[in-house]
Amino acid sequence: GESVGLHLPTLSVQEGDNSIINCAYSNSASDYFIWYKQESGKGPQFIIDIRSNMDKRQGQRVTVLLNKTVKHLSLQIAATQPGDSAVYFCAERARIQGAQKLVFGQGTRLTINP
């Protein structure tokens, strides 16, 4: 389940199961969204993106769903593998205090149980 404070929310799944990671974004005017994967000691790695005029986009083993009504984004990973263990961040492109920029969510740590 989720926790608040300094610790990242954690999602534990069995290897081979599907994973669903959720994200609430803040700005209703955001026009572009990206999911990133970050492994320990590395920079964020692009997974999949979606524009605000779409509600679903599929990649290889990943699907992103966008619900603009409730400002919610989700990342579905099919047949989760050990290599999927990482922290996953959603990011929205928003104009906040100046120019458009990527604004990141808190992140969710995905752990895979063998």
Partner 1 sequence: NAGVMQNPRHLVRRRGQEARLRCSPMKGHSHVYWYRQLPEEGLKFMVYLQKENIIDESGMPKERFSAEFPKEGPSILRIQQVVRGDSAAYFCASSQQLDRGYGYTFGSGTRLTVV
Nearer to partner 1 by Cβ, of 43 and 114: the residue is 43
Residue 43 is a binding residue for partner 1 (CB under 8 A) = yes
Closest CA to 75 of 44, 107, 52: 107
Residue 34 is a binding residue for partner 1 (CB under 8 A) = yes
Residue 88 is a binding residue for partner 1 (CB under 8 A) = no
Q: For residues 76 and 18, is the Cβ–Cβ distance under 8 A?
A: yes
CA dihedral (76, 3, 112, 32) positive or negative: positive
Residue 59 is a binding residue for partner 1 (CB under 8 A) = no
Local structure of residue 8 (DSSP, 8 states) = P
Q: For residues 10 and 111, is the Cβ–Cβ distance under 8 A?
A: yes
Identified binder of partner 1 from the candidate list 64, 73, 89, 110, rule CB under 8 A: 89
Q: Smallest distance, Å, CB 113 to partner 1?
A: 21
Binding residues for partner 1, rule CB under 8 A, total: 28
Q: Smallest distance, Å, CB 34 to partner 1?
A: 7
Q: Phi and psi at residue 83, in whole multiples of 5°?
A: -70, -10
Residue 70 is a binding residue for partner 1 (CB under 8 A) = no
Q: For residues 58 and 90, is the Cβ–Cβ distance under 8 A?
A: no
Binding site for partner 1 (CB under 8 A): 6-8, 32, 34, 36, 42-46, 49, 51, 89, 91, 93, 96-107
